[in-house]
Amino acid sequence: MKVVIIGGVAAGPKAASKIIRLNPEADVTIIEKDKYLSYAGCGLPYYVSGEVKEQKELMCTPVGVVRDPVFFQKVKNVHVLTETEALEVDRPGKRVRIRRNSDGEESWREYDKLILATGSLPLVPPLPGKELKNVFTLHGVQDADGIKAVLAKEKARDVVIVGGGLIGVEMTEALVKKGCRVTIVEMFPQIFRMLDWEMAQLVAQHLESHGVKILTSTKVEAFTGKDQVKEVVTDQGTLPADMVILSVGVRPQVQLAKAAGLDIGATGAIKVDVYQATSDPDIYAAGDCVECRDLATRKVCYMPMGSTANKQARVAANNICGVRDTFPGVLGSTICKVFDYAVARTGLTEATAREMNYKVVTASAPGPDRAHFMPEAKSLFLKIVVDTKTRRLLGVQATGPGDADKRLDVAVTALTARMTVDQIANLDLCYAPPYSPAMDNLITAANVARNKMDGYLDGVSAREVKGMLDQKRDFIFLDTRSQGEYDEVRLPNSTLIPLGALRKRWQELPKDQEIVAFCKISLRGYEAALILKAEGFKKVRVMDGGVAMWPYEKIKG
């Protein structure tokens, strides 16, 4: 069996390796137009920062062997043609026309099965000056080397990142570590649109605490400079820039598939079935060039991720070799590092769930990621979204310096199994003080949601409270923390009555007035609400997340 694979970064090498494992007699060829093969594109920001010391580390196996053409030939028995471009797929003739970059020589490669792993291309807005020197994308090793060269030789001081998504924000840390003054320009009202606004705002505040300037609702109009970029012109003013990184997303690379007459999906990516087969039964596709099914929205989607590419490639390889396998879809599970914060989400955000006409309840659960008395405990800010009709978990978001990844991975499992918050609240998760609280953060969030749905807790979001304050609505914003906590940092227009004093001082509060109680994480706020309700107060709510998850300016000192 002859298998030709077009694309040699993530999906292509994975598929080739699996095919050879299943069918050692197969004749497998990878065609890759660039010289770099099987590299970790998601590691590029860490290569720029210097955390990954050498370029070859991005292309090595876990034991340090470089995955180059010699490696694939000797270890995998896979033929690799690097710096060779696939120009045409002749479906009736079952062959691919290729051209060698070094001398332009063209030839044909026959196949029994073909895999398209052509990946994606960076979106480059058609802005004046985009061709100026020091305007980069970050889509390959060459881009990373170019950025590193500017940082090393020209000592770029002012860097503007256009786009507040994953790659742009991941690059921010690398640039700050190199001594750059970084500005993120985002045309939408928030960075990280994969999160709900208030969660994204917590990340924005953390970035700003590290000196990063964030301009949202700001549109870039042009880049100016004589030979290299010197300024970024926006609709809000002009920014100095020694370097610009365009990070506005990617699009699937589907020219070959289109020209060959393969079906292209609604997302603009190659349409495939659950077996990763295209509209031609002898052609499969995997990775950033294909569309997926979103398990949360039940719609087709485009979610280019290295992890997804590898899984899809394995499914394609299995089916090519006669092993029936399917790829069910994705939940949009994403995590990235922003200085010492993790930023993660899976499933539906509150905004998306409401757009889909779910009646939802949300629960914010800030707290330490392990027993609070352990010196290594760190804060984790968690938000869950729940369908009130079925009580099923719909989505989870997390940020903060604490361990977000394991909570999100449990959430992914729960979402896949369509679990309710009642089931999640009683999961037998591992517990020991160095690893988690006795009631894990995700379990606590599930219980908060249950309390809301069962009528034990009347919650209100920080965003709604801010609106009440801005409208000068007549209510008591009751802070139940200690005097020392209040003196250190407080929220605007709040009234302090520490929880320990509330049973003696509740008479100071008018029973006919609305009260919103809170504390650092709103656990004491919840206790305060129960005390007041027991004393006959009717209009008492608890602010989700407390001071820890207040996404607005706080009063210090």
Catalytic residues: 42
Angle between helices 166-177 and 197-209 (to 10 degrees): 10
**What percent of the chain is helix, strand and coil (3-state, nearest 5)?**
30, 25, 45
**Tokens representing 111?**
């196949």
79-81 and 27-31: which strand pairing? parallel
State how far the Cα of 290 lies from the Cα of 309, in Å rounded to an integer: 9
State how far the Cα of 448 lies from the Cα of 546, in Å rounded to an integer: 13
Q: How far is CA 462 from CA 170, 203, 350, 381, 477, in A?
A: 27, 16, 14, 14, 11
Closest CA to 517 of 197, 201, 537, 507: 537
* Sign of the torsion formed by the C-alpha atoms of 506, 509, 510 and 514: negative
**Strand, helix or coil at 317?**
helix
Closest CA to 30 of 143, 118, 142: 118
Are the CB atoms for 124 and 130 separated by under 8 Å?
A: yes
Are the CB atoms for 130 and 160 separated by under 8 Å?
A: no
User: Burial of 506 by CB count in 10 Å (0-12 exposed, 13-18 middle, 19+ buried)?
Assistant: middle
Q: Which residues, in sequence order, are CB contacts of 74 under 8 Å at separation 6+?
A: none
* Tokens 């409208």 found at: 471
Are the CB atoms for 248 and 162 separated by under 8 Å?
A: yes
Q: Which amino acid is at 283?
A: I
Are the CB atoms for 327 and 512 separated by under 8 Å?
A: no
**Strand, helix or coil at 87?**
strand
State how far the Cα of 79 lies from the Cα of 62, in Å rounded to an integer: 22
State how far the Cα of 347 lies from the Cα of 331, in Å rounded to an integer: 5
What does the angle CA 413 – CA 419 – CA 421 come to, to the nearest 5 degrees? 110
* Sign of the torsion formed by the C-alpha atoms of 57, 63, 65 and 67: negative
Are the CB atoms for 276 and 193 separated by under 8 Å?
A: no
**Strand, helix or coil at 503?**
helix
